[in-house]
Amino acid sequence: MTYAIIENSGRQFFTEPGRFIDINHVKAEVGDIIYFNRVLLLKSNNVIEIGYPFINKIKVKAKILKHFKDKKIRVYKMNPKKGTRKTKGYRSLCTRVLIESIENTENILK
C-alpha cells in the first residue's frame, strides 16, 4: 500500500490513490488536474520517507470532482445583562478532489 500525507491550507491529509478528500475551495474548473507538492510523509514498498519539512521529489496528482458548500457553522453571541442575542451562520466553500496517483518527479524527468 502506497500512501502520502500532504499539507494543504494549513491542514494535513492522508492520501492514497483512488481516495477522495475535501479541501478548501480551489479556483479551477471541475475535471482539472491539480498537483500537491507539499508532501510531508511517503510510504511505499514498506519504506517510509519523511520530509524536512517536505519531500521535494514527490507530487500527488489529483482531479477536481466538484465544488460545494460545507456544513453550516453557527456563531451565537449573547449579552446577558442587556438581553441581546445574535445568531449568525457561515458555510465555507469546499472542493472535492480524487487522488489519482503519487508521482516521483525524478522518474518523470529522466
CB 65 within 8 A of CB 96: yes
Q: Are strands 73-79 and 84-90 parallel, antiparallel or unpaired?
A: antiparallel
pLDDT tens-digit map of 60-108: 999 999 999 999 999 999 999 998 999 999 999 999 999 999 998 875 4
pLDDT tens-digit map of 56-65: 999 999 999 9
- Cis check: omega of the bond before 53, within 30 degrees of 0: yes
pLDDT tens-digit map of 9-64: 999 999 999 999 999 999 999 999 999 999 999 998 889 999 999 999 999 999 99
* Residue 3 pLDDT greater than 90, yes or no: yes
Model pLDDT, residue 110: 39
Model pLDDT, residue 107: 59
